[in-house]
A and B are shown apart, each in its own frame.
Chain A
Amino acid sequence: MTTKTITPAAAPAAAPAPGRGNRKQARRNTLIGWTFILPNFLGFLAFTLIPVLAAFALSFMEWTSFSAPKWVGLANFQRMLASDSFWVALRNTVVYAIGHVPLTMALALLLAMLLNRKLKGIGFFRVAIFFPYITSLVAVAVVWNMLFSPDNGPINQFLHAIGIANAPGWTSSSDWALPAVIITSVWRDMGYYMVLYLAGLQAIPSELYEAAEVDGASAWQRFWNVTIPSLRPTTFFVVVMLTVSSFKVFDLIVVMTNGGPGRSTTVLSQLIYQEGIGEGKFGYSSAISLVLFLIVLTVTVLQFKIQQRRER
């Protein structure tokens, strides 16, 4: 299923045009088709498609809430590359992705392996682990902020109990705020990716395992030589989704740390918001938007390429 979601046009509609070749019929069909699409398309055109195209154009313009738009070529990008806050935000976003992607992936796979068995009541466990993913973000951020309280928070109490004397200051420390955000987001997201892995695991034919067992493969060997290769399409999809979502991280940061302390957790999305909506620098913020889009696009294309080479 995973590959299918990526290539949605795999099965083109074969609606037989009634009265083929009949021009009047064709015109009628066009009219009918458009009436179906129009209610959604008007909203989509005005509030998604045009803003997307505008974002591209704006990044080459100087436009603030106090001045008229003016074409400036690459000036916004030059300013961005010279700006310290851009590099800080980019670095934080990359660090977040480096922490978030592998941890979520590993835990999601582990949970899926544990939960991929026929036991009574297994559904309860799956639902419980999935639930954080759809819990409101503000509630999640608020609870974790309290769990991370540097003084008497449960997490630091636990760390003291297992003998760690200098427990970190988490969201109040500029070194530990980003790890705290990463831990929270891993907890929140792993249930979703577990569901994807579970689907992947259940699609592996049991004959493969039986054959490996007959050949005398140990549980570990079966994992490395049957499970992991069979899961490759799922893993590919999970990595793409996780990486893209990591680079887009926004609301969790805004609610949990609001970029602080200092600039230690400011990410690209937040910089776009601050510059564009906060300070009204429409052109400059669009240049940062374009960079965010290009990063997301590059990551996706790169991973597609890697996947293709592996399959060959």
Chain B
Amino acid sequence: MTNMAEDLKAESRLLGIGLPPNTAEEDRRTERRRSPREQKKRTTDLVIYAVLAVLVVALMVPFIWMVSSSLKENNQVLTVPIQWIPSEFVWSNYTDIWTRIPMMGYLQNSLYLAVIITCLQVLTGSLAAYGFSKVRFPGRDVLFLCYIGTIAVPWQAYMVPQYIMMQNLGLTNSFNALILLQAFGAFGVFLMRQYYMTIPDELCEAARIDGLSEYGIWARVILPLSKPALASLALLTFVNTWNDYMGPFIYLTSNRLWTVQLGLRSFVGQFDAEYAMIMTGSVISVIPILAIFLIGQRYFIQGIATSGMKG
């Protein structure tokens, strides 16, 4: 068990996006020892930088294209030769889109769903994970196997029974259907349990002796210790919900309930020649994700690497 904790720690260090802390020191040592070799290393570094720069620019072409097209007139988007920098920046796309489609409503709907689902998933997930990892009772492990088992079943395989159920409950075409379907995922329980297993039981035991109830231990000992895992789960759930297309596509039929993804897709379907405006909408739909990713990239990558993302 401690072994696993160490592994996890090592893992997070390895995956840390920045430089590992001891690199500079190591480099200095090598430099002192073999200077000509260091010289050679510097040239290879330059070559590597050049290769990486070219590669990243090539891989980022879709994003560059997206931003550049969003600032053009429609007839300037698909030109020969390609215009990477718009000859004239059409900033008005970014002001017009709010009146062309109910973009603000779409954003609000996406935000509403993502926030509610994330809160419920994190709360119920961490509670259940505590039950599965720190409280002993008969049948617990069988129950957890049920959770794991459903993770292995593709979601598409049971979407039809889910749909029938929602239809009978009269919940189609409402946010409640999506909230009920997505807020109690097995994935969140699994991710949190993985993390709680690395917290030594002695901590809980000590708190028990101090007279804390199990709920007190969860709230005052475990939750503060599991902030990184909570952050990972919250970020992954938020981004998954924000980006989800199939859920809203199946359940939300009226325009006023649509999320950004549905609104954007329908805009493309109706006005497929409005290239510039479509790209403006795409940029707007990606910006919140970019912001969240940049703020919490560390938690993202840890969460993804420890458990594998849903999907």
Contacts and interface: CB of A to CB of B under 8 A. Distances in A.
B103 to A, nearest CB: 14
Contacts of A300: 152
A115 B52 contact: yes
A312 interface: no
B27 interface: yes
Interface in B23-64: 23, 26-27, 45, 48-49, 51-52, 55-56, 59-63
B221 interface: no
B7 to A, nearest CB: 6
Interface stretch (B89-97, B184-192, B223-231): B184-192
Nearest to B201: A15
Max chain B Cβ within 10 angstroms of own Cβ: one of A11, A18, A244: A11
Contact of B214 (A36, A41, A134, A140): A36
B14 A36 contact: no
A122 B51 CA distance: 12
A272 B311 contact: no
A82 interface: no
Interface stretch (A95-103, A162-170, A225-233, A286-294): A286-294
A131 B293 contact: yes
Contacts of B48: 114, 117, 119
A78 interface: no
Given A13-B197, A36-B130, A195-B15, A55 B161 contact: yes
Nearest to B69: A146
| Most A CB within 10 A of own CB, among B66, B138, B148 | B66
Interface string B271-311: 00001001100110110011001100100110011111101
Contacts of B300: 134
Interface string A143-178: 110110101111001000000000000000000000
A40 B193 CA distance: 13
Contacts of A24: none
Contact of B60 (A128, A244, A269): A128
Contacts of B130: 36
A11 B198 CA distance: 9
Contact of B56 (A117, A128, A272): A128
A30 interface: yes
**Closest 7 A/B residue pairs (Cβ):** A43-B184, A36-B131, A276-B160, A40-B124, A51-B161, A40-B128, A289-B157
Interface of B: 1, 3-4, 7-8, 11, 14-15, 17-20, 23, 26-27, 45, 48-49, 51-52, 55-56, 59-63, 65-66, 69, 77-82, 123-125, 127-128, 130-138, 140-141, 143-144, 146-148, 150, 152-165, 180-181, 183-186, 188-190, 193-194, 197, 201, 204-205, 208, 214, 218, 239, 242-243, 245-246, 249-250, 260-261, 264-265, 268, 275, 278-279, 282-283, 285-286, 289-290, 293-294, 297, 300-301, 304-309, 311
